Structure 1
Amino acid sequence: MDERTRYFRRLKRLRGSARRWSVIGGGLTAATAVLTPYAGIGVADAVWAASAGASVALAWWRWSDHRELAAIPAPPAPPPALPGQRLVAAVERFPAGRQVIEEVRRQRNRYAVRGSAVAQAWDRLDRASTTLTGLTGRLTGPGEGAVLEAAVAEQWLRDLGQRVASVERAIPLTQPDRRATLEQSHDSLAKQFTEGVSAYERLVAAAASYVAEDGHPVSGQHPALTSLIDATDRLRGMAEGLSELKRPSTPAA
């Protein structure tokens, strides 16, 4: 829900509440004015009067809140969403749909660098990114900072790779006297991208080492494995004991 929709919903709720309390306060005030002269001032009349006063006060507060909110300019309307964007947003609400959308985006980005000098390094970046995604949930403590740094580095690398592919496509269109300078810039960017991918892969390898070492218990065997072996031995012993009880006893000679 955008801010503009939230603003008008709150304004509508305040208006409805103010009208409701105005009607209740008016009704209780009229009832108090009519019934009091007939029976005098008693406990019931005091209750009627107190309820009428409270309702009128609540109505006044609600109208006051409504006027204050109405005096604030409404937030600007968000840009209209295209039908395709609405469909993507609906699909991304489900985990399986989110994975499909991410794969489509990955293939689209891969298509943008096809045939370029960074295509192979781009594939290496995709594999490393997928591997790091599987490790992210187990990178706790100091590893969380590395995940954030890796996300920033990956975004920079993907932008750099698309930049290299765009420059490479523009080289044949460049004038011959300026082509050498552009080719030199392209080679420098491509080298920077390849070196960045190699550094990213080293980070993923370090993250995998951290996860592997963090999974080793200090004593050499995880308590869960020890408990599993003990439970297996207990069940086997119980099964053997039950088998012994069910065997017919041999009569003495």
Structure 2
Amino acid sequence: MPLTRRHALAAAVCAAAASATGSAWADAYPAKPITLVVAYPAGGDTDALARLFAEKLATRVGQPVLVDNRPGASGIIGSAFVSKAAPDGYTLLLAPSTFSIAQLVLKTGGTSGYDVLAGFTPIVQTGSQPLFLVAGAGSGFASLKDAVAAARPGKPLGYASPGSGSPMHILGEMFARASGASLAHVPYKGVAPAVNDVLGGHVPVTFITLGPVAPYFANGKLRALAVASAQRTP
């Protein structure tokens, strides 16, 4: 959950004082609502996680924690917004690993960039999860071998991702190189629209996290073909 270095100092000190002593530090911060920025549309796993954190955090600090979706440019727009926010500890960012990748693969304007190393300080790693290759029911793919066989030169297989520079995009390109499959990247403005188009049959496959697609495995609308981790996932 990155925020500016000055934000981090204020937030960390106040949190420690409040939990340890309940002193005046706790009364001083937070004294107004906190904004938790998500640089992606509503409906994705980052958004869902942010809303869970916001609910629990609001109860603990006694102030509303408002989730503010600012999607666009693979998270660059929302991240840049937080980097330029007032350094008062009231604007936080919940960011997936795209945060550190996007600017390396996308051109940004003079006002839309941010400094990953100097402009933000990581507060907590919320977790980690593997990515899956998932196919829609209309694709006809029952296995990874089926997908690779269909992805041939002259007829590349389209794969959806939450945006250029996302881990899903990078994994797709790595997979294409490793397997020899011919793939065509189809970027979206977040997880939810990418999954919706795979469900609708507009794109045959996607590289994605488990949460947004797991509900569709039981009814056969989606099928997991592979997991990008060292071991099988339960």
* TM-score (ref. length: structure 1): 0.18
Kindly indicate which of the two structures has a greater share of residues assigned to strand: 2
Kindly indicate which of the two structures has a greater share of residues assigned to helix: 1
